[in-house]
């Protein structure tokens, strides 16, 4: 597929069908994660630790939920739908991506999604074991050795913090680049859930997003929130 046909896939034309790509749970997850992570960077840097911890447990619950949703969520939110091999990434970069690879996360976008999720999980895990040696110590510090606490704290405050800031900035800049320069409509689907899919793509399977799947998401999120609440309660 050439660059112009990629742009055509994302531009509006009469022969297009509205297709649900991002189900409601994925969209709520995304915007809640964005707000919480920005809040975590702000509260971490300014030392507002009570809120830093609260937002940290929220992100823990959100990430656990996304992990489960990656297996049982809507078609385009499942990890299997955007787990690409190197060949697909190279084909995408050469402008010859398979049309199905341009509907959900693209091969390049998928790499950044996995990187953001993994680095956030590491930042949360090290935060749970971090200790500022003044008043803020994570709920898991008492279960690990002093060496692990200082390693986790130093990663959390140094490399982890900067990698999170860099990846999140890169993510937002990449989205802006695709929207403003390449003219791909990316942000609206993350709000409304729907993408305009060209008829040339045939009958594309939509993500399931009905009352039953939303109820399932609610139950799963409640379980994840319960787990995060229990982790928080381990803090003395």
Binder of ligand HEM out of 156, 197, 207, 217 (CB under 6 A): 156
Distance from first CA to last CA of the chain, Å, rounded?
57
**Tokens matching residue 131:** 């200790």
Question: Closest approach of Cβ 22 to ligand HEM, in Å?
Answer: 7
Nearest to 194 by CA among 22, 79, 59: 22
Q: Does 54 bind ligand HEM (CB under 6 A)?
A: no
Q: Does 111 bind ligand HEM (CB under 6 A)?
A: no
Q: Does 164 bind ligand HEM (CB under 6 A)?
A: yes
218 touches 44 (CB < 8 A): no
Question: Closest approach of Cβ 128 to ligand HEM, in Å?
Answer: 5
Q: Does 161 bind ligand HEM (CB under 6 A)?
A: yes
Pattern 167-206, ligand HEM, x by CB under 6 A: -x--xx--x----------xx--x----------------
* Spatial distance between the Cα atoms of 123 and 196, rounded to a whole number of angstroms: 36
Question: Closest approach of Cβ 90 to ligand HEM, in Å?
Answer: 18
Question: Closest approach of Cβ 193 to ligand HEM, in Å?
Answer: 11
Nearest to 63 by CA among 117, 116, 25: 117
The helix (run of H) or strand (run of E) holding residue 196 is: strand 194-198
What SS3 state is found at 140?
A: coil
* Spatial distance between the Cα atoms of 99 and 109, rounded to a whole number of angstroms: 15
* Spatial distance between the Cα atoms of 221 and 219, rounded to a whole number of angstroms: 5
Q: What is the CA radius of gyration of the chain?
A: 20
Question: Closest approach of Cβ 19 to ligand HEM, in Å?
Answer: 13
Binding to ligand HEM in span 15-44, by CB under 6 A:
26, 29-30, 33-34, 37-38, 40-41, 44
Residue 153: partners with Cβ closer than 8 Å, 6 or more residues away: 126, 129, 130, 131, 132
Nearest to 81 by CA among 21, 19, 25: 21
Name which of 121 and 223 has its Cβ closer to ligand HEM: 121
Q: Does 81 bind ligand HEM (CB under 6 A)?
A: no
Q: Which residues bind ligand HEM (CB under 6 A)?
A: 26, 29-30, 33-34, 37-38, 40-41, 44-45, 52-53, 56, 59-60, 66, 77, 105, 109, 113, 116-117, 120, 123-124, 127-128, 130, 132, 136, 138, 153, 156-157, 161, 164, 168, 171-172, 175, 186-187, 190
């Amino acid at each position: 597929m050439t660059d112009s046909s990629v742009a055509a896939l994302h531009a509006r034309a009469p022969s297009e069908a509205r297709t649900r790509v991002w189900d409601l749970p994925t969209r709520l997850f995304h915007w809640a994660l964005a707000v919480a992570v920005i809040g975590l960077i702000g509260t971490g840097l300014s030392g507002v630790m009570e809120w830093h911890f609260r937002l940290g447990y929220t992100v823990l619950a959100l990430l656990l939920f996304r992990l489960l949703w990656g297996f049982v969520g809507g078609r385009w939110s499942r990890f299997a739908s955007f787990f690409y091999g190197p060949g697909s990434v190279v084909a995408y970069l050469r402008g010859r991506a398979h049309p199905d690879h341009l509907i959900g996360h693209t091969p390049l976008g998928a790499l950044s999604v996995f990187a953001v999720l993994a680095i956030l999980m590491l930042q949360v895990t090290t935060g749970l074991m971090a200790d500022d040696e003044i008043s803020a110590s994570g709920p898991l510090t008492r279960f690990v050795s002093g060496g692990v606490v200082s390693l986790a704290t130093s990663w959390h405050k140094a490399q982890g913090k900067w990698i999170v800031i860099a990846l999140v900035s890169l993510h937002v800049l990449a989205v802006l680049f695709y929207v403003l320069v390449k003219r791909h409509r990316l942000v609206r689907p993350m709000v409304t859930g729907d993408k305009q899919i060209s008829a040339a793509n045939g009958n594309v399977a939509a993500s399931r997003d009905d009352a039953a799947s939303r109820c399932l998401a609610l139950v799963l999120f409640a379980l994840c929130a319960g787990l995060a609440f229990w982790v928080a309660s381990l803090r003395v």
